[in-house]
Amino acid sequence: MLVRKILHKQLPKGKEGDVAILGILLGIIFVVAVVVKMIQVFTPPSTTPLLAQKEGLVRAQTMEEISNYTQTQIALPEDLFSSELSVMGVYTQDQDQFVKEGTVVLVLARNGSRFVQISFQPNLTMEEQMNRYTLLPLEEILIGKEAGYFITLEKSFLECADNPEGIPDVCTFSKALTFTAGQSIVTISVDGGHASDGEVIAMARSIEGQMSQKIDDSEE
């Protein structure tokens, strides 16, 4: 409406009028661009959380702090493949049939992006875990003495989101390796294509070996 009023004002006819109209339009475009830029500057960038935001989620600052909220046994892979521990969380309440009270989630990041998410789920059987993946392609992998399952979650379209500086970027989980370790079901979920199958299998076997050793030590 404002533009129409401006353009319908008495302007010189002919070439001079065309120039005047062009100048007005360029001025309006400039003002709009400045306003949009100011909005972008003063509006905080959106963040995609690394942990599912559910009631009862507690963020831990150290591995040792996790034991203040749960007795769930956990272990970091001995080889992190140049990644680092980015976020740790404990779910202190049951969320659904898969996220039980005491579930621990560790997020590893590499090169500014989420690398993998490692979930330790107590009070869950492998049968219950696999019920959620019945329609998805999977491959059986030996992890320790028991079978684990490499599940393809998404291979056709991976959605990614950039996070503000200091927070790893994230993509849709493309694969997950789920296996039994100690008293828990452990699942390593791959962010996009950021981890190879070999890296994930090596991390799984490392976790299973450490947790089995803890059980053996406690029984001696």
Average pLDDT over residues 69-87: 96
pLDDT over 80 (residue 220): no
Position 21 scores a pLDDT of 67
User: Which residue type is seen at 153?
Assistant: L
pLDDT over 70 (residue 31): no
Mean of pLDDT over the chain: 84
pLDDT over 70 (residue 142): yes
Domain boundaries, the chain: 2-42, 57-219
| Coil/strand/helix, residue 35 | helix
Average pLDDT over residues 185-196: 96
Position 28 scores a pLDDT of 74
What are the residues whose beta carbons fall under 8 Å from the beta carbon of 104, sequence distance 6 or more? 66, 70, 72, 74, 88, 89, 90, 91, 119, 120
Evaluate whether 153 touches 43 at the Cβ level (below 8 Å).
no
Please report which confidence band the pLDDT of residue 165 belongs to, taking 50, 70 and 90 as the band edges: confident
pLDDT single digits (tens) 41-74: 444 556 788 888 888 899 999 999 999 999 999 9
Position 36 scores a pLDDT of 52
The total of other beta-carbon atoms located within 10 Å of residue 204's CB is 24
Rounded to two decimals, what is the model's pTM? 0.78
Between 24 and 121, the more confident residue is 121
φ and ψ at residue 206, rounded to 5 degrees:
-65, -45
CATH fold, domain 57-219, is Protein Transport Mog1p; Chain A (3.40.1000)
